[in-house]
Amino acid sequence: MRRPFASVLALAAAAAAIPLASPVPAAADGVVIGGYPVEISQSPWTVALSSRDRFGGTRVGQFCGGVLVGPSTVLTAAHCLSADVLGAPPQKVRDLRVIAGRGDLLSNDGKEIAVRDTWVNPDYDSHTNAGDFGVLTLATPLPESSVIRMAPSGDPAYGQGTAAVVYGWGDTTGAGDYARSLRAADVKVLPDANCEQAYPGSADGTYEAASMLCAGQLEGGRDSCQGDSGGPLVAQGRLIGLVSWGSGCGWAGSPGVYTRVSDVIRTLAAKR
């Protein structure tokens, strides 16, 4: 799936259309494996994070996904905003942009919006991957109609077996084949036990049910991947997860791990 700390050079190479000799994880993880094209009008809350200075202009500098949860508020993965990925603290990346309303990255649709402020969860643990989220505040607000509602604790959308959809512009094969246009994949919310068994603690991370959500297919085949990190996992019309981490892309027995949005809500409420 997506590896938070893999080489930035792999994504830069893909952005420059340099063939990869073998599957190499990208800077910030995730591409939709086993997915299908989707119009941005069907998920206007799905946005792309961009820095041409860092990742080149071939794919308009897209390196991660994000989700519009307020007119001026975008959620993404904390690891997308790390210096390992961006080359500097996010507030020092002068051309950091959020691209909204653009399904085809190479089109002129939508808007590229400057980021006024960034906040990374101070409790994010880069070893376990717990608390993997950050907040971008846009310099110019977007329409309320483009905002998706976050699912609070106890929402039935988190229920085991619930059908969900993950969105992104990431790797579609696990071999560096990055999507030009937005894609989606149908997955299911899986029991925490599946990810606890898959990720009991290793260099990849440790599954912690309190702040993480397990989703995908046990048999593999549908998943997020490099480049999708920070993008939305949606069930029953509500945001339940952010693409975070995992082993491989679409591998059997290695479901995707997502930041649990109910924990994001709890953390942000405590921050106020």
Query: How far is residue 193's CA from residue 171's CA, in Å, rounded to a whole number?
Result: 27
- Give the global pTM: 0.88
The token duo for 222 is: 């549908």
pLDDT score for 5: 36
Q: Could you count the other beta carbons within 10 Å of the beta carbon of residue 1? A: 32
The token duo for 241 is: 């997860």
Is 192 annotated in the active site?
no
pLDDT score for 33: 63
Q: Which residues of the chain have pLDDT under 70?
A: 1-34, 174-175
Which residue of the set 29, 132, 204, 228 is catalytic? 132
Q: Do 63 and 227 touch, CB atoms closer than 8 A?
A: yes
SS3 75: strand
Query: How far is residue 57's CA from residue 60's CA, in Å, rounded to a whole number?
Result: 4
Is 79 annotated in the active site?
yes
pLDDT score for 47: 98
pLDDT score for 3: 47
Which residue of the set 43, 51, 211, 229 is catalytic? 229
The token duo for 85 is: 């990925």
Q: Scanning the structure block, which residue is given the tokens 């229920």?
A: 159
Is 145 annotated in the active site?
no
pLDDT score for 65: 96
Which residue of the set 50, 79, 82, 211 is catalytic? 79
pLDDT score for 219: 79
Query: How far is residue 70's CA from residue 150's CA, in Å, rounded to a whole number?
Result: 10
The token duo for 233 is: 């996992």
The token duo for 200 is: 């009991």
pLDDT score for 4: 42
